[in-house]
Amino acid sequence: MVVASKDKKLASAVQQLLASSNLRISTSSDVTGVEIAGALKNVLAIAAGIVEGMHLGNNCMAALVAQGCSEIRWLATKMGAKPTTLSGLSGSGDIMLTCFVNLSRNRNVGLRLGSGEKLGEILDSMNQVAEGVSTAGAVIALAQKYNVKLPVLTAVARIIDNELTPKRAVMELMNLPQVEEV
C-alpha cells in the first residue's frame, strides 16, 4: 500500500501505524500521482475487462493496458504528478492488480460489457461499487481541461455513457492514425 501526503511526518506516522508483518506500507509525497493513478486504474480495468469479454486475446490485452498506462501518465504528469509515481506501486502495481485479477469489480464490469450485457443490468446485479463507472465521466473533462488525448480511457467513458458499444469502440481505436511510439 501507499500512503500519500505532502506532510512527510504525517505520512511516516500513518505508515508506522498501519504497517505489520503482513502489510508493507510505502510513503509518497506525490498526492496527485497517487490519486490520479488510483482513480484512472479503475477506468482502465473496465477497458481490460471489455477486451477479455470480447475474447480479443492476450496481445490485444497487453497493448490496451500499455496504452492505458501511457494515457494515465500523460494526464497525471500534466496535472503535476511525478512520472516515477506512475511506474511504481501506486501506479503500475495497482494497475496490474486491477486489470488482471478476477476479483476486480471494475474488470468484471468490463468483462460483462464486452460479453454484451447492458450497464444497468450489470450494476443492478452487483452488491459492491465499481468506482470506474462513475470515474469514467471525469476522464473526458480532464482530457479537455489538460489538452491530452486519452483514446482508450475516453472510449470507456463513452461506453459507460451509452454513446458507443464496445465493438464500435474497438473499431474506432483501431482506426486511429498510426503514430510513433512515445
- Residues with active-site annotation: 41
Helix (H, G, I), strand (E, B) or coil at 158: helix
- DSSP per-residue codes, 101-119: -TT-HHHHHHHHHHTT--H
From 156, 149, 176, 171, select the one nearest 70 (Cα to Cα): 149
Residue 76 · residue 32 · CB < 8 Å: yes
CB neighbour burial string for 86-95, b if at least 16 within 10 angstroms, e if fewer: bebbbbbebb
